[in-house]
A and B are shown apart, each in its own frame.
Chain A
Amino acid sequence: MSGVAGDLLARFGPVAFAMFVVLNLGGILTWVERKQSAIMQDRIGANRASIFGIRVLGLLHPVADAIKMLTKEDFMPAHADRLLFKLAPFVSVFFAFAAFASIPFGDMLRIGGREIELQAVTLNVGILYVLAMLSMGVYGLMMAGWASANNYALLGGQRAAALMITAEVAIGASIMGVVMVYGSLNMQDIARAQGQPLLPHLLGDWVPAWGILTQPLAFVLFLTAGIAATKRIPFDTPEGESEIIGYFVEYSGMKFGMFAMADFLETVVVAGMTTALFLGGWQVPYLQAAGLVFPWGATVSLPHLLVTALQVGAFLFKVVVMIWLLMLIRWTLPRFRYDQAMRLGWMGLFPLSILNIVITGLVLLAVGS
């Protein structure tokens, strides 16, 4: 493959792959949510949607949901701001979707004389980009709350904004520790650095320096703040479908569905970020570019394409496990009250992440000297 077509493929291939993964994971999460919660609660879960009697474990329910939402009345309040009201769900979904772009899902792919970074957009400030996209997402919610011409929706939008700021500060501060340890804002570099052995003169080549080992406190803080950023239980003060109604009160049909989808996409993004920053990204333990290199000296050389496939598979596997964990948390914990969420964010997560930065700095100084 050569010329323009090859260039285009090399450029858009990773983008298409990332879009494919995120869209499909986001779409299938409604099914995962139903089924996983059901299994956790000794139930069966939605299994009745069928095409010609074929049910495939309830996998057709997302399809049925989509048809239902598309055929519902698309209601708009009389005094709503027409443009913002219609724009808000798209803004919300777009930024949730775009956030995934700089998360790497594989090492450099060398094929046909080309070197392709397996991430949709190669950015030197990838972490900042993801953070920016996640925080831009809240504009959609505030627009929805404001444009609905409904005080409950407005209050919900305010809560969403407050929660998002709380989460963003904690996310940014907790990530700083990771950035200090691996010395880069580029997520691909961070993922690569996590393949290095941890404390080589002490532990040899046995333990890879994954972020969860070098930055355990930051992992907990990031995960907590990340769940808050997805606006799902236990942090769903902006929405609270069951009693405190939120910013999408006035939305119906597919626009309502898009807000729900934005939450799912954000779940995928947070899972992807956690994987890339703390779980070694696409790293497979003892798998290096040439093949498996075990610490006891054995080596198995593998072809480059297989190594890449293993790495991409490992990344997807880790993301799925993280999504499972996020779902588990969502279906285990009760919702925080608004003041509890704020207190946890500003008096718990934020100071702790500052403390984490200080400790990391001291340890780095001690190790470096």
Chain B
Amino acid sequence: MESGHSSRLSLRQRFYLLEVLTGLGITAHHFFTNMWRHTLHTVLGVKSARGAVTIQYPDERRPYAPRLRSLHRLVRREDGSPRCVACMMCETVCPAHCIYIVAAEHPNPEIEKVPERFDIDLGKCVFCGYCVEACPEDAIRMDTGILEFSSYSRAGMVYTKEMLLALESARPDGTPASPVPIPPDRKPR
């Protein structure tokens, strides 16, 4: 069983017991410092002392960077109608072909068109952000801070104009300001 590997260990390492004690010292040090911080945190009420690095995700969130590309939203005009003029730029630039727009006449003659349908298939979207870059009207943004979209079916991944219009921009710390849209196939039973 003599191999080159074992001969590279020093005598102290081969004796193992001292190395074990060193290791136990490290883990015990972690244990006692964390126990002390937990005690400070929960018993003495020092909220800045944290004994664990855990972020308890559904309850707390890691702060997201402002430039994070998260779930899309359609920006609204003051009257609540979409700012989108159905110019098809985003649909054209989209490398994943996940945007589907049906244009319609806008009642206001100053505005050229309005999307009758504006679907984004998030099952296809690659979150490149080209649609946001391409939009001449600043009508689509990816700043909701929402990353949790899932569905039991492909159809459930298609987000419609109404769903995208209902979303708000994320709060300054990056947490979502609007609830995560729940696709129809994922309604609570």
Instruction: Select the stretch in A12-20, A33-41, A91-99, A142-150 that faces chain B.
Output: A33-41
Contact B31–A40 (Cβ < 8 Å): yes
Contact A41–B30 (Cβ < 8 Å): yes
Does residue B44 face the partner (Cβ distance < 8 Å to A)? Answer: no
Count how many pairs of residues, one from A and one from B, have CB atoms less than 8 Å apart in the complex: 43
**Chain B interface mostly:** helix
Which chain A residue has the least Cβ–Cβ distance from B55? A44
Nearest Cβ distance between residue A39 and chain B, in whole angstroms? Answer: 5
Residues of B within 8 A of A43 (CB): 52-54
Contact B27–A328 (Cβ < 8 Å): yes
Does residue B166 face the partner (Cβ distance < 8 Å to A)? Answer: no
A331 to B30, CA, bound (A): 12
Does residue B23 face the partner (Cβ distance < 8 Å to A)? Answer: yes
Does residue B9 face the partner (Cβ distance < 8 Å to A)? Answer: no
Instruction: Please provide the chain A residues from 291 to 308 with a CB less than 8 Å away from any CB of chain B in the complex.
Output: none
Residues of A within 8 A of B51 (CB): 39, 42
Instruction: Please provide the chain B residues from 11 to 43 with a CB less than 8 Å away from any CB of chain A in the complex.
Output: 17, 20, 23-24, 26-28, 30-31, 34-35, 38
**Chain A interface mostly:** helix
Which chain A residue has the least Cβ–Cβ distance from B25? A332
Residues of A within 8 A of B53 (CB): 42-43
Q: What 0/1 readout, one digit per residue, does chain A (105-117) give for beta carbons within 8 Å of chain B?
A: 0000000000000
Contact B31–A36 (Cβ < 8 Å): yes
Residues of A within 8 A of B27 (CB): 40, 328, 331-332
Nearest Cβ distance between residue A335 and chain B, in whole angstroms? Answer: 14
A339 to B27, CA, bound (A): 26
A189 to B8, CA, bound (A): 48
Contact B24–A42 (Cβ < 8 Å): no
Contact A333–B54 (Cβ < 8 Å): no
Does residue A329 face the partner (Cβ distance < 8 Å to B)? Answer: yes
Q: Knowing that A39-B35, A44-B56 are A-B contacts, what are 6 other residue pairs whose CB atoms are under 8 Å apart, sorted by A's residue number?
A: A42-B51, A42-B53, A329-B24, A332-B23, A333-B23, A339-B1
- Measured CB to CB, the residues of B under 8 A from A are 1, 17, 20, 23-24, 26-28, 30-31, 34-35, 38, 51-54, 56
Can you list 14 A-B contacts (CB < 8 A)?
A36-B31, A39-B31, A39-B35, A40-B34, A41-B30, A43-B53, A44-B54, A44-B56, A331-B27, A332-B23, A332-B24, A332-B26, A332-B27, A343-B1
